[in-house]
Chain A
């Protein structure tokens, strides 16, 4: 039992996590004829709360309830894993990345997210504006404009061999590389790092 707890507390390798994520595709198809996608949940929340007579949000979101239940499950799963299966050690990050991030002012590896950024104290500062408000807006606006996110396009779309999803995934990566290598440094020094 002790050995099991020790084993399950370890971070899981990519070759365990990737295939389980991949299996979500046939699981949703076979169990409910549903296509995997998470960003649609954001659209359903809009449709349920503030449709405001916008055609894009006037549809029967109750039919898509499964998607909202699914993301609630993701939230609960995050809670369970952190509460009962947490890794007691600090997160192991590639040395080169640590070196690059130190130059930006990020040195705290005590939890999965950098404590220098993701705290409530930063909410009403430039850091909060950049990482939570602008970051979140870009994620929400971008996924909907692209018609899906990493789950809907990169996993589900490519799994079903749809080339528009390959295009979307390529541009997800291009955007990420651009932010990381071109904009992140200047933006971070702008907000006080």
Chain B
């Protein structure tokens, strides 16, 4: 009886341990794959180009508006479908989208980011793709962006929000 009880407790643990680890590495791998697809699109559609961002802010090409507009349309439709049909994540969880609260930061910070966006020709995603596509000096821009994030974190409670 005692041995059986012991086995009862041990058996599932033995089974679960390797599974859990498999699940963990597989989990991360899928994000790597989505990231790779994302990076390829950024380069192939030339979204990482400083020139494309200049065209956009000078209102001289529809391209970036087409990219962002169609991405948002597909995103809206997808999120509505997920909500309407109560689609669960593959691990069976209810999909949760955190609510964003309005803060002054979205105005002041947004403005500051926009200034940097037009200078660097990149938002954070394209920064990584630019480095990957051989513009290695952009690692300096990325480091500076990390410093910027850190400085925000340091003074977050002193800034108007």
Interface set of A (CB-CB < 8 Å, partner B): 8, 11-35, 38-39, 41-43, 45-46, 50, 52, 54-57, 65-67, 69-82, 85, 91, 93-94, 96-97, 100-101, 109, 112-114, 117-120, 122-123, 128, 130-151, 153-165, 167-181, 183-184
Contact = CB atoms under 8 A, between A and B. Distances in A.
- Please report whether the interface of chain B is mostly helix, strand, loop or mixed according to DSSP: helix
A39 B105 CA distance: 15
- Please report whether the interface of chain A is mostly helix, strand, loop or mixed according to DSSP: helix
Interface of B: 27-28, 30-58, 60-64, 66-76, 78-79, 81-82, 87, 89-91, 93, 95-103, 105-125, 127-138, 140-154, 156-157, 159
A56 B153 contact: yes
A138 to B, nearest CB: 3
Contacts of A82: 43, 132-134
B78 A26 contact: yes
Contacts of B151: 137, 141
Given A31-B90, A113-B121, A138 B135 contact: no
A153 B95 CA distance: 18
A122 B159 CA distance: 33
Contact of A77 (B35, B81, B135, B142): B35
A145 B112 contact: yes
A66 B47 contact: no
Nearest to A128: B140
Contacts of A39: 123-124, 149
